[in-house]
Structure 1
């Protein structure tokens, strides 16, 4: 798969079908709304959903029917602004929020625009993603970076915003104990955000020793590797080893794995809060008796909503959350396919693809 010459105007990394990708030169998009800006994309993180589309061609009801540009975890530099833009100028470095709601439906007007049924989300069929030289966004979905956040860190603001939304769904208050299942990028960031929100006890749970070692160095106060025993037994071990009395105050599942869901329900104290952030199989068995008798507060979490991106930027700028440690590799744009293969193989934590150089 060859990269086109330096005459390319808007080189893009396009998914055509399962394991079928190509580099394609597309027209530089035109500003059609006076509030829009044109962003020269500089770094893009590879997300599990990108890999899933590459592997399977679909996620649930979202099916790749036409060629689609991949990528949605991006940062860049403003290269052109619309006539009504007032908060950004050419040359500004920004974190890019990649989902544009309709702004008119009831969820949008209620401040829950992540639930908008007409959401145009990057690299979700039929919408193209950000793995291109140029991408258009509304002014208010670009977040100007303070000087102490670089463009690589800014590409991690997207998964950090997912973690911010999950932790906000849990309504964590200072002093509460939190157990996070799944020590992938989002789970790790949930640990970091929970600590920033005042949790003194954050336990990361995973089946991979390497991830647990990283989690302990990064943001978790303790870790737990589940044994091949019933979920209730693993839950009792977590509670006992971490001196959590009747159980954890909050459980966040960032894995989507059925055993994690079961263990998470059992590890909570009566009246505790459970938030489902990870996506696994569409249907699983569920410990409904424990959820009912403990009168748990249960919530889902999907993407990010009003204020989440802004808070994510502020957490990094203030030093309350660090994302540099998660960036384990940066590859050139022309090596994008190889980067997808390495992420699929489980290498690294967060791999970034650099923007088009020419």
Structure 2
């Protein structure tokens, strides 16, 4: 079968590899669509970050090259021994966490903080940029008939946003600033509106993404090149600042403006993956009892995400900006998302089945 493999920084290759075999407790999925994630881009531009190189991953035993892709949907074509909740023909999405199930975090139900954490599509257990993949039944979720496979490929990034909002202890009526309106930023805006935010402000430099942010539900979109965003936020909140900031840029400007825009006692949630270190003075927290919370992926959020997307509380319209074949993923996918046209795109979906492109 064909699959896209990460060999190294800026080295992704579409190759023929052996089709995976189903094993006990696992299901085999024929992939329909898989999104290119910001994490995939980080691995492409600055990796390895999550991908095991040199030292095998402790749970999969694999090293690069690995099959990429973790935001995917598909149809179950085979089930392994002991599988009871999933059957052949089920339409599904995958919560792509590889966890040990034995460490203290896993035993607490915080499997996304597993001491040996890996991600399907990054740690060598297979991935969604392939014709088929095999994964554990416990992390495979059925999708309703009313949800398209394309929509289902968006469940994973939207679950990231829902988890970050839960980690913020965000309440109905609270105010927020979202730093950046890339895929996770836009998902965060949509989820904040669904959560009953009274005000959502977005930091976004002038580009088409300002319009995307407004369509997602942003009340105000501010360009740091045009205004002092922290001052504008104070004006918009009666001099207080926002309850919560969501950092999705992975850049110091986003971090600094987010902290400065918070009200006393406010919380900054960092969802972004960083490629390097950053300095800041902890006094900005101490003098006003502001808090910084890190958030990684999701845990137990997939059912809620599926429910809210299927009943329309969280809308996915406008999220998909391009659909391509697996054969074209390097040039039309990663090339597009790292090239001069990157700001025009939110989510590029990839399919190994070219017939789906004509549907």
TM-score by shorter chain over 0.5 = yes
Partner of 2:140: 142
After TM superposition, which residue ranges in structure 1, 4 or more long, deviate above 6 angstroms?
A: none
Alignment of 1:22-41 (within 5 A): 22-33=13-24, 35-41=25-31
**Relative to structure 1, is the Cα distance of residues 39 and 61 closer, same or farther in structure 2, using a 3 angstrom cutoff?**
closer
Asked whether the 8 Å contact 2:30–2:76 carries over to 1, the reply is yes
220-229 vs 153-162, which deviates more? 220-229
1:335-346 map, 5 Å = 335-338=328-331, 339-345=333-339, 346=342
**In the alignment, structure 1 residue 351 sits paired with structure 2 residue 348:** yes
> Secondary structure in 2 aligned to 1:90?
coil
Query: Residues 250 and 268 of structure 1 are in contact (CA less than 8 Å); yes or no, is this contact kept in structure 2?
Result: yes
Over 3 Å counting, the alpha-carbon distance change for 1:151 and 1:56 in structure 2 is: same
- Cα RMSD between the aligned structures? 2.0
Could you tell me which runs of 5 or more consecutive residues in structure 2 were left unpaired when the two chains were aligned: 55-62
Cα gap change, 1:208 to 1:72, in 2 (>3 Å): farther
CA distance in 1, matches of 2:146, 2:239: 41
For residue 114 of structure 1, the aligned residue among 112, 115, 120 is: 112
Name the residue aligned to 1:265: 259
For 2:208 and 2:124, locate their aligned partners in 1 and report how far apart those are by CA, in whole Å: 37
TM-superposed CA distance for 1:355, in Å, is 2.5
Q: Work out which of the residue numbers 313, 319, 324 in structure 2 matches 1:326.
A: 319
Is the 1:57–1:63 Cα contact (8 Å) retained in structure 2? no
Write the distance in 2 (CA, Å) between the matches of 1:125 and 1:218: 32
Q: What does 1:154-165 align with in structure 2 at a 5 Å threshold?
A: 154-165=152-163
Match for 1:310 among 303, 309, 313? 303
**Superposition pairs of residues 78-227 of structure 1, within 5 angstroms:** 78-227=76-225
Q: Distance in 1 between matches of 2:6 and 2:274?
A: 23
Number of residue-to-residue matches in the alignment: 343
Unaligned runs of 5+ in 1: 1-9
Q: For the Cα contact (< 8 Å) 1:265–1:287, is it kept in 2?
A: no
2:38 pairs with one of 48, 51, 67: 48
Shift of 1:24: 2.3
SS class of match (1:59): coil
Picking from 273, 276, 284, the partner of 1:282 is 276
Partner SS, residue 298 of structure 1: strand
Question: Is the 1:177–1:199 contact (alpha carbons within 8 Å) kept by the matching residues of 2?
Answer: yes
